[in-house]
Amino acid sequence: MIKINNLQARVEDKEILKGINLEINPGEIHAIMGPNGSGKSTLSNVIAGREDYEVTGGSIDFEGENLLDLDPEERAHKGIFLSFQYPVEIPGVTVSNFIKTAINESRKGRGQEPMEAREMLAKMREKTALLEMDKSYLSRSLNEGFSGGEKKRNEIFQMAMLEPKLAILDETDSGLDIDALRIVAGGVNKLRTADNAVMVITHYQRLLDYIKPDFVHVLYNGRIVKSGGPELAHELEEKGYDWIKAENA
């Protein structure tokens, strides 16, 4: 589905990604772990197309297309979704109008007709129920006055509505209490199919108890320095990141 090859990126003059290689296939869950400042969020933002990052080398191939040639909205139309670490508050735009606009713009981008109002409504009902969200969410201003947990849940709600091929969850566990974490992770699991994939970015093992990864990668200093199965996450949980740092000093 996505092939990242020797990806290098920087912000202003600071080199952050120094050659990332990663391949994710349909149906897989990959966890990207690593200490703070290792480049995890940069990787997710570069995939989603944030223009503050300058890609200086390498490539990202998404279903046979060079992702780096596309605007953020075009990437979304192709099926890339980024759940933000810090979702932005947009006063004056309600959740329901926002998601309607997002879905119909994405459909337009793919040459499809807008979704029928009735279908949209039914889908919103279904997905709010899935995430145990009160319907009053939908008429609130997007993220405005939302608690940390509500913001994250709202991100997964958008993911559920948009049904992306590749969902990138950037530190979705931060700010969640254990109950919210279970609901959010449960939602992600229920949305899994053989055709979509998830990239979970996290600092801690905790989320991975609920969203079980097929592969775990350790990102350090702009490179993937270790890859393995779920057991790698447990090892990191036990031993911390110091041994990784020592190995790569």
Partner 1 sequence: MTDLAQDLLSSFVVAEPQLNGSRNLGVVHLRKEALDRFETLGFPTTRDEEWKYTNLKPVLKHNYRILLKGDDAVSFADIKSYLLSDLDTYKLVFINGKYSSWLSDSTHQEFDVCTFAAALNKYPDIIAEYLGKAAPKGETFVDLNTAFADDGAFIRVKASQTVDKPIEILYLTTNENGPSFSQVRNLIIVEQNAEVQIVERHQNIGDQPSFTNFVSEVFAARDARVSYYKVQNDANEATLVDNTHVVQKETSNVHVGTYTFGGKLVRNNLHFYSAGTHAESHMDGITIIGNGQTVDHHTLVDHQEPNCYSRELYKGIYLGKSHGIFNGKVMVRQKAQKTNAFQQNDNILLSDKAKVDTKPQLEIFADDVRCSHGCTVGQLDRNALFYLRSRGIPKREAEGLMTYAFAADALEYVKIPQLEKRLNRVIAEKLGINLEFTL
Q: Give contact residues for partner 1 (rule: CB under 8 A).
A: 48-52, 71-73, 75-77, 81-82, 84, 87-94, 97-98, 100-106, 109, 158, 162
| Nearest distance in Å: CB 102, partner 1 | 4
Which DSSP letter does residue 112 get?
Answer: P
Please, which residue, 100 or 217, has the CB nearer to partner 1?
100
How many whole angstroms separate alpha carbon 225 and alpha carbon 244? 8
| Nearest distance in Å: CB 173, partner 1 | 20
Please, which residue, 70 or 225, has the CB nearer to partner 1?
70
| Nearest distance in Å: CB 43, partner 1 | 15
Written as six digits, the tokens of 130 are: 């899935």
Please, which residue, 70 or 130, has the CB nearer to partner 1?
70
Nearest to 201 by CA among 155, 157, 242: 155
How many whole angstroms separate alpha carbon 25 and alpha carbon 231? 20
| Nearest distance in Å: CB 47, partner 1 | 10
Please, which residue, 72 or 186, has the CB nearer to partner 1?
72
How many whole angstroms separate alpha carbon 223 and alpha carbon 212? 23
| Nearest distance in Å: CB 202, partner 1 | 19
Q: Are 102 and 82 in contact (CB under 8 A)?
A: no
> CA 130, 180, 41, 138 torsion: positive or negative?
positive
Which residues contact residue 246 at a Cβ distance below 8 angstroms, ignoring those fewer than 6 apart? none
Find the helix packing angle between 178-190 and 148-162, rounded to 10°: 10
Please, which residue, 108 or 239, has the CB nearer to partner 1?
108
Which DSSP letter does residue 111 get?
Answer: T
| Nearest distance in Å: CB 52, partner 1 | 8
Please, which residue, 154 or 205, has the CB nearer to partner 1?
154
